Structure 1
Amino acid sequence: MDDKTRTPVTVIGLGLMGQALAGAFLRAGHPTTVWNRTAGKADGLVAEGARAAATVGDAIAAGSLTVICVTDYRAVHETLGAADVELDGTTLINLTSGDSGQARETARWAEARGARYLDGAVMAVPPTIGTPDAVILHSGARSDFDAHEQTLGALGTVTYLGADHGLASLYDAAGLVMMWSLLNAWLQGAALLRTAGVDAGTYAPFAQRMAAGVADWLPGYAEQIDRGSFPAEVSALETDVRAMAHLIEESEAAGVNAELPRLLKAMADRAVAAGHGKEQYPVLIEEFVKPGTR
């Protein structure tokens, strides 16, 4: 496929991520039109071969595929809702961060204006865009994804999740909680070991092995959750609760913040009180599906 047959792409929003997205399309040979509220942010991309559009409407009219990545969903509506913007006939890929409700509402809004709409989430930092390490999630009509999968592949590893436009946002949130929970657990351990003179660099390889080992448990634990049956094949929750108590005691004795282990134990204590002490750790899903207390 030469440059003349590559899909023309429009990128709206040229923050760090938007610039990385446009740059990846350019490197893959796609004619790329860009627009940003602050026009000067397009200068570097123009130097690389992009075309800077004077208006949002002009940018969208330049091709059949538009990628938007702006501050939030309110900015999406403000940018694309102007009177001179015609969405009819375009496929709109929204890679703006937001929640699943906003994604579904924006899908209805865009489709009512004649656009085909895919919601997406970028599970990557800007420097990795255009490499396999950049995971880009998409949700919406399968036919719309299939039509542009090859073009979107210029951005990284593209994944289709399903027809529900909210899925990309939900996966994004699920990925973020995994990231923060893992990092917070590592920081708790690093703080504990630092009291004995062990630096974080020394601890890191051990922590990596622990994280990898726990990751190996996930498919089996997922089977228990999906079956709704939690036999204690490895350890009973009541045993884990005793270990959590030890972690709290160790943290307090070392003068280290114990809020995180207290939170873990509070949830586990509720599950034990509800009669789940003899079951395995994934039974805590019953606590996570409940609305939290304020």
Structure 2
Amino acid sequence: MKLYLDPGHGGTDPGASGNGLLEKDINLDIALRIQSILLANYDDIQIRMSRTSDQTKSLQQRTNEANQWGADYYVSIHCNAFNGQARGYEDFIHDRLSDNSQTANYRNTLHQEITKVNKLSNRGKKKANFHVLRETTMSAFLSENGFIDNSQDAQLMSSSTWRQTVAHGHANGIAKAFDLQPKSNGGNPTPDPEPGTVYRIIAGSFKSKNNADKRVDLLRNAGIESFVDRHLISGEVWYRVQAGAFRSRNNANQRLDEVKDAGINDAFITVN
């Protein structure tokens, strides 16, 4: 199964914002976690992401890439914003599709799994004429994971534990919809000794966005994908460079060694 995973917005397009958060950052974090969960736990899945860092990419580029690759499913991750009062989760398929279509059936499965765990009010299953739903040649799904300008939803979004849970909801839905088989270890599913744990490699924290971007460039030149994650700490904005997120401590240690070999000796692992 070939999954095209699209963290909405990015680069010069921040998407929605509110409560010290940017949509593009939340989208990317959730999508990277979905990728990690699926690749770690299921066989016969290939994943291509529209972006793995804070990159500018047009909607046309995203759908062209998915179509040319021959993806089986397109999943676009987003957050909502409106008036500061609206709350909750909703998802979309294209408005020309019937409720009995295969795309609708896939969406029903994802919707059930995501809303089961995300602690958000359920705004329902919806349809729209969004570009990524209209211009894809495969079934496509778009999730809106809360309202970033609502203080209660944003409080959830700011939690790495919540983002991991939401990622699990998406991954579980995709696995069920496409009947993905768990990876085996002697005939048993791959063990997860610390369920929900994510090891993130932090390659620097800066008050200057420009300095954080320079660190990302340094890592990219060394062949290491990374992105800038914006944090609000004690009322001050900090820009943290993340160079990977893993379910496996061994994989995280390997990436940490690669980052240090690139000359960043103060890199470290956080456990969430």
Q: Name the TM-score class by shorter chain.
A: under 0.3
TM-score when normalising by structure 1:
0.24
Structure 1 or 2: larger strand share?
A: 2
TM-score when normalising by structure 2:
0.25
Structure 1 or 2: larger helix share?
A: 1
- Greater relative contact order (Cα < 8 A, sep 6+): 2
Q: Max radius of gyration: which structure?
A: 1
